């Protein structure tokens, strides 16, 4: 009997695309301009990356009394769409991994389906490597990252046991979600906001199985597991 391929569950921002710094820029400016909240870019990244829209809203309203409502979300989303269309690009060498058919690939992201489809189309990966039926977003579950729901949902819908899945994440909230789901997680630190020895150590301390600094290294790690 042929052994089942491993399922690679990809995050999007900071993994398939070096988009985290763009997203931080959007939310940093939106919080200042729309709500007068002066979080630094480092604080935006620390507190909000890897969270679903709902979780971001809950966090900001709880800890900063930010009055984040649907109007704010829609305005921030428009800013994000503008920057996606202008600046979004894929991570270097990501197609080297995605085209490896010895693995099965899917996406599990805290974004919405409409936004995720737009991002994937912009960087040329939609329907080429990530098809709609293999794309899972925060709208599909009750609790977004750092809860494990989205990863568990993706594994179930793809027909995989948890032991046969590997998650690729860049954020601490994503790593926490993977640990809570009891799925092996590799921390990818190739995005410019994460590419430090200190962040690599933080990811390992958070429970990442290992750390990959670029897509070539990630591919080697995955092939060694396979």
Residue 56 covered by a domain: yes
The domain boundary, picked from 56, 87, 118, lies at 87
Same domain assignment for residues 26 and 138? no
Who contacts 18 (Cβ-Cβ below 8 Å, separation ≥6)?
89, 91, 190, 191, 192
Same domain assignment for residues 34 and 99? no
With helix as H, strand as E and coil as C, how does 125-173 read? Answer: CECCCECHHHEEEHHHCCCCCCCCHHHHHHHHHHCCCHHHEEEEECCHH
Same domain assignment for residues 118 and 13? yes
Same domain assignment for residues 220 and 148? yes
Q: Which domain holds residue 144?
A: 6-19+90-225
Of 177, 225, 106, 219, give the one whose Cα is nearest residue 208.
177
Same domain assignment for residues 169 and 193? yes
The domain boundary, picked from 60, 87, 114, lies at 87
Residue 1 covered by a domain: no
Tokens describing residue 19: 């988009």
Residue 30 covered by a domain: yes
Same domain assignment for residues 72 and 106? no
Burial class (CB in 10 A: 0-12, 13-18, 19+), 201: exposed
Of 8, 15, 5, give the one whose Cα is nearest residue 194.
15
The domain boundary, picked from 87, 108, 130, lies at 87
Cα torsion angle, 190, 147, 25, 115, sign? positive
Q: Could you tell me the CATH number of the domain that includes residue 61?
A: 1.10.150
Same domain assignment for residues 26 and 114? no
Q: What is the pLDDT along the chain (226 residues), one digit of tens a residue?
A: 346 799 999 999 999 999 878 888 889 999 999 999 999 998 998 888 878 788 889 999 999 888 899 999 889 888 888 988 888 999 999 999 999 999 999 999 998 899 899 999 999 999 999 999 999 999 999 999 999 999 999 999 999 999 999 999 999 999 999 999 999 999 999 998 899 999 999 999 999 999 999 999 999 999 999 7
Same domain assignment for residues 94 and 68? no
Tokens describing residue 195: 């590419």
- If you ran DSSP here, which 8-state letter would residue 4 be given? P
Burial class (CB in 10 A: 0-12, 13-18, 19+), 170: buried
Instruction: Domain count for the chain, please give it.
Output: 2
Residue 162 covered by a domain: yes
Name the packing angle between helices 41-48 and 20-35 (round to 10°): 110
């Amino acid at each position: 009997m042929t052994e089942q391929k491993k399922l690679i569950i990809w995050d999007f921002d900071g993994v398939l695309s070096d988009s985290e710094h763009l997203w931080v820029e959007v939310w940093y400016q939106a919080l200042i301009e729309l709500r007068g909240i002066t979080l630094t870019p480092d604080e935006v990244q620390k507190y909000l990356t890897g969270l679903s829209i709902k979780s971001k809203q809950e966090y900001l309203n709880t800890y900063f009394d930010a009055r984040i409502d649907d109007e704010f979300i829609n305005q921030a989303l428009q800013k994000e769409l503008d920057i996606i269309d202008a600046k979004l690009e894929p991570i270097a060498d990501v197609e080297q991994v995605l085209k490896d058919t010895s693995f099965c690939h899917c996406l599990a992201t805290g974004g919405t389906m409409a936004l995720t489809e737009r991002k994937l189309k912009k960087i040329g990966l939609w329907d080429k490597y990530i098809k709609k039926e293999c794309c899972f977003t925060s709208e599909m579950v009750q609790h977004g990252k750092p809860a494990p729901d989205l990863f568990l949902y993706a594994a179930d819908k793809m027909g995989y046991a948890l032991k046969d899945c590997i998650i690729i994440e860049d954020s601490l909230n994503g790593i926490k979600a993977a640990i809570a789901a009891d799925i092996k997680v590799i921390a990818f630190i190739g995005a410019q906001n994460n590419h430090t020895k200190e962040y690599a150590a933080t990811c390992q301390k958070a429970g990442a199985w290992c750390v990959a600094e670029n897509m070539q290294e990630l591919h080697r790690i995955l092939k060694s597991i396979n």
